[in-house]
């Protein structure tokens, strides 16, 4: 039976770091700072934290619980907990969503490989260049970004081939530790620039007049994406977790790590942008959107002392973060192929590589030769980004909480949450979690979701 041959994580720390490695990724370093810049700074952080506690933590607990109790990929986990029901197709959708995310994620991962290579060649160490034009020329080139996308995906696949303990757990442990050290170094460099303090103020002094309905939607989408919830990643990793772990504590730790990391990444970027603007006597602009990390930041590095080194460290951090997340996305698909289609791990990786690489090629080309090709008015890249973050993840999260809150028996839910009564979780706390899962989270997600499409 699959059960006996299934691997598990080796240690508690390894499990936490692998999950944190999944959560900490481009979402934190690339997406969070520009969402912050676009949505008004400190107020966005507060709304984000509210979404995190009220909506995302319950989704994460549900996913964790279903995965650990089901001990399988999303498809089989649902099938085991609700035999023969239609729920397993939700699991299948989760696998599909993971494949879709990986298909565009590997394109941005490829960009970070390219920017790391460039920074090692000291491309951002001195002088002025038109970084926007350079970035535009690179991503629209018909073949160069493809090469980097494939390199990125191949690196990811290589780690996965080694399995859960030797591949995922070991690499995540090393990478997340290195990542943390690097990003702290970049923060120190960034904060020590004259004028940086204005950027810190922007991040921490809230202006509530900037909070609109759009801020809430943006904050929820960002929180889902950043925590890797809603499409079976946490579920799959949880299926490798021992029965002794504390689901609630682990979920809270991962959310905490992830949020801290996003804020630290913000501190590495926003104050530096302010400081350089101050140096040049211009207004700081942190609302550059997706280009913030690839266009604004190289400009910042090129002007700051020791900027060449900071650039290498920063893009290395970006790549490490992207890889540990891509691993988790690929593992969802690979676990499904191994267990449902009975293929070896190596074959499963190869299938996933070809599938996501194939779609990834179209995502990448949509910045160049395929710009004119539209799906529902969006380029291929934007289409995948949009349907996954704005539709599949919230719907996935909604269904996960509905399953955990309504389809699982309350006694079973509480049994799994407290490890069969072995954990001393106060009754009021486990019941609060239960009702957050059963009522608050699904209704909250539904409301924000409807608001997005019918307002
Ligand atoms: N959370 C990762 C990031 O912040 C990306 C990611 C990994 C993800 N697995 C996921 C996003 C599952 C959504 C769902 O970059």
Which pLDDT tens digit goes with each residue over 216-248? Answer: 878 888 999 999 999 999 999 999 998 999 999
Query: Rounded mean pLDDT of the chain?
Result: 91
Q: Is 1 a residue whose pLDDT tops 50? A: no
d(CA 437, ligand 1 centre) in Å: 21
Task: Tell me how far apart the alpha carbons of residues 383 and 224 are, in angstroms, rounded to a whole number.
Answer: 18
Q: Evaluate whether 288 touches 96 at the Cβ level (below 8 Å).
A: no
Alpha helices per DSSP H over 121-143: 131-140
1: which 2 tokens? Answer: 């039976």
Three-state DSSP at 423 gives: coil
d(CA 225, ligand 1 centre) in Å: 5
Q: CA 164, 166, 167, 172 torsion: positive or negative?
A: positive
pLDDT digits (tens, 9 = 90+) for 61-90: 999 999 999 999 999 999 999 998 899 999
Q: What is the pLDDT of residue 165?
A: 84
In this prediction, residues 321-334 reach a mean pLDDT of 95
Q: Evaluate whether 437 touches 58 at the Cβ level (below 8 Å).
A: yes
Q: Is 186 a residue whose pLDDT tops 90? A: no
Q: What is the pLDDT of residue 318?
A: 92
pLDDT digits (tens, 9 = 90+) for 6-32: 788 988 888 888 899 999 999 999 889
Q: Is 3 a residue whose pLDDT tops 50? A: no
pLDDT digits (tens, 9 = 90+) for 340-388: 999 999 999 999 999 999 999 999 999 999 988 999 888 999 899 888 8
List residues near ligand 1 (CB under 6 A). Answer: 22-23, 25-28, 101, 225-226, 228, 230-231, 233, 325, 328-329, 393
The label of the residue with tokens 């090393």 reads 174
Q: What is the pLDDT of residue 398?
A: 95
The label of the residue with tokens 């700074």 reads 41
Question: Of all atoms in ligand 1, which is nearest to the CA of residue 22?
Answer: 7
CA torsion 150→154→156→159, rounded to 10°? Answer: -170
User: Ligand 1 test: best mutation among 63, 225, 237, 391, most atoms within 8 Å of CB?
Assistant: 225
d(CA 202, ligand 1 centre) in Å: 26
pLDDT digits (tens, 9 = 90+) for 125-167: 766 678 888 999 999 999 999 999 999 999 999 999 998 888 8
Task: Tell me how far apart the alpha carbons of residues 417 and 437 are, in angstroms, rounded to a whole number.
Answer: 12
Task: Tell me how far apart the alpha carbons of residues 114 and 437 are, in angstroms, rounded to a whole number.
Answer: 42
């Amino acid at each position: 039976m699959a059960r006996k041959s299934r691997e598990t994580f080796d240690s508690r720390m390894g499990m936490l770091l692998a999950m944190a490695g999944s959560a900490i990724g481009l979402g934190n370093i690339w997406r969070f700072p520009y969402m912050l810049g676009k949505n008004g700074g400190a107020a966005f952080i507060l709304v984000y934290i509210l979404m995190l506690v009220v909506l995302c933590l319950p989704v994460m607990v549900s996913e964790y619980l279903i995965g650990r109790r089901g001990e399988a990929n999303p498809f089989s986990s649902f099938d085991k907990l609700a035999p023969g029901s239609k729920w397993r197709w939700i699991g299948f959708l989760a696998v599909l969503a993971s494949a879709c995310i990986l298909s565009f994620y590997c394109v941005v991962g490829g960009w970070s490989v390219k920017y790391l290579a460039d920074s090692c060649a000291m491309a951002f160490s001195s002088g002025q260049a038109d970084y926007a034009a350079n970035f535009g020329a690179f991503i629209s080139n018909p073949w160069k970004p493809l090469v980097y996308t494939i390199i990125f995906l191949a690196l990811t696949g290589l780690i996965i081939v080694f399995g859960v303990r030797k591949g995922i757990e070991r690499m995540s442990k090393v990478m997340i530790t290195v990542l943390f050290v690097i990003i702290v170094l970049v923060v120190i460099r960034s904060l020590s620039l004259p004028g940086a303090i204005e950027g810190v103020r922007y991040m921490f002094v809230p202006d509530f007049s900037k909070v609109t309905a759009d801020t809430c939607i943006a904050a929820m989408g960002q929180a889902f994406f950043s925590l890797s919830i809603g499409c079976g990643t946490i579920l799959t990793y949880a299926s490798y977790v021992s029965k002794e772990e504390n689901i609630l504590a682990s979920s809270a730790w991962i959310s905490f790590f992830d949020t801290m990391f996003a804020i630290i990444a913000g501190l590495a970027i926003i104050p530096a942008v302010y400081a350089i603007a101050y140096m040049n006597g211009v207004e700081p602009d942190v609302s550059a959107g997706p280009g913030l990390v690839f266009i604004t930041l190289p400009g910042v590095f090129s002007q700051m002392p020791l900027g060449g080194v900071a650039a290498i460290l920063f893009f290395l951090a970006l790549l490490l973060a992207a890889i540990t997340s891509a691993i988790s996305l690929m593992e969802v698909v690979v676990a499904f192929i191994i267990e449902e289609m009975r293929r070896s791990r190596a074959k499963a990786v190869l299938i996933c590589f070809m599938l996501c690489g194939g779609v990834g090629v179209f995502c990448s080309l949509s910045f160049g030769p395929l710009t004119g090709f539209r799906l529902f008015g969006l380029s291929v890249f934007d289409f995948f980004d949009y349907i996954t973050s704005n539709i599949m993840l919230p719907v996935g999260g909604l269904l996960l909480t509905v399953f955990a809150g309504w389809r699982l028996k309350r006694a079973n839910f509480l049994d799994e949450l407290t490890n069969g009564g072995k954990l001393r979780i106060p009754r009021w706390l486990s019941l609060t979690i239960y009702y957050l899962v059963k009522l608050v989270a699904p209704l909250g997600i539904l409301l924000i979701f409807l608001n997005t499409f019918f307002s």
